[in-house]
Amino acid sequence: MNCASARIDFNSSQAVTHPSMNHHYTLITGASSGIGKAIAECCGEAGMNLILVALPGENLEEISYEIANNHNIITHFIELDLTTPHASNVLFTWCQERNLQVNTLINNAGLGYEGNFGDFEPSFYERILTLNVIALTLLTREFLPALKRQREGRILNVSSFGGFYPMPYKAVYAASKSYVTSFSEALHEELKNTSVTVSTLCTAGVDYFEDSTDRIEKIGWIAKFGRLTPQQVAKAGVRGMLQKKRRIIPGWVNVFFHYISRPLPTRVKAWLIHFVLNKFHKNAILARKTAGSGSVVNVLSDRGYKGRK
């Protein structure tokens, strides 16, 4: 194992080394929990050396050592807030300075929420859009020239099933994921005659934390039938990426629901989503009132990033 570390101040530490013949790296953002951590485990199991990225204070060093030891690979990690100015360039420069050749970029970091649009401050939405849209776009742009120089370069952008629909109570999150899907699929087409493939992982309900399990239970039978574990989503995503698939929707129920809903008008989709989420939304409002006016309930940190009002 070789596990090199860096925090936002870039102080590094030494680690034990097990040599690896593979000198390429897979970079994964939001790698400290949920889908991101599961993807890191999956890639490690496949023998890929890793660069793991997450916020400070997310136990990333432990995760990095654990994955390196379990799979006898090289791991590096950097604790970095991707919503800070120039973060994408900072990350790219950090990799260049250490001569880390990235041949796979997995943009997984994201932030979601539940609630009325007017219940959250503008700064909260700015953080969501910066992480879900701007950071993903700029990281892709920073690493693309280097990926094109690889014999095989891969980009996996983690979107959401919500990106296919207008979603009341998740309006900004769903819109940001719609951007991710559209951007990724356009880039897939644009890069067809290059060595780089772009895949989009569209996840539905993922059962990873107690609050997400509770949310899925309260939404009803549609969410229950479609829910998957982070490990199931990660395996589907990594497998699809290696198979150079354009769009990856884990779970046959989710695939079925996506295709039968495609012919429906947008206003009907919005009404259906509102109908499904409305009961849970009322419970969330009650929980927020019970917790106090200064609290934010149901801010989702499913990819290792926490948001606050």
pLDDT for 207 equals 56
Helices (H), the chain: 34-45, 60-71, 87-97, 122-129, 136-148, 171-190, 210-219, 221-226, 230-242, 252-261, 266-291
pLDDT for 53 equals 98
Among residues 239, 154, 151, 158, which one has the least CA distance to residue 191?
A: 154
3-state helix, strand, coil in the chain (%, to 5): 50, 15, 35
- The ranges assigned to domains in the chain are 2-300
d(CA 5, CA 12): 5
> Which of the residues in the chain have pLDDT under 70?
1-22, 205-227, 254-309
- Enter the tokens of residue 2: 């070789």
Q: Are strands 299-300 and 196-203 parallel, antiparallel or unpaired?
A: unpaired
Q: Are strands 299-300 and 112-113 parallel, antiparallel or unpaired?
A: antiparallel
In eight-state DSSP terms, residue 167 is -
Among residues 13, 17, 12, which one has the least CA distance to residue 1?
A: 17
The pTM score is: 0.81
pLDDT for 38 equals 96
Other CB atoms within 10 Å distance of the CB of residue 148:
12
pLDDT for 5 equals 54
Which region holds residue 99: left if phi is over 0, alpha if psi is between -120 and 50, else beta? left
Buried-exposed string 252-266: b where 16+ CB fall within 10 A, e elsewhere? ebbeebbeeeeeeee
Which region holds residue 306: left if phi is over 0, alpha if psi is between -120 and 50, else beta? beta
What is the CATH number assigned to the segment(s) 2-300?
3.40.50.720
pLDDT for 296 equals 37
Q: What is the pLDDT of residues 225-284, one digit of tens each?
A: 556 889 999 999 999 999 999 999 987 776 666 566 666 566 655 556 655 656 555 555
pLDDT for 162 equals 82
pLDDT for 78 equals 97
The residue assigned the tokens 């419970």 is: 283
pLDDT for 167 equals 83
Other CB atoms within 10 Å distance of the CB of residue 117:
12
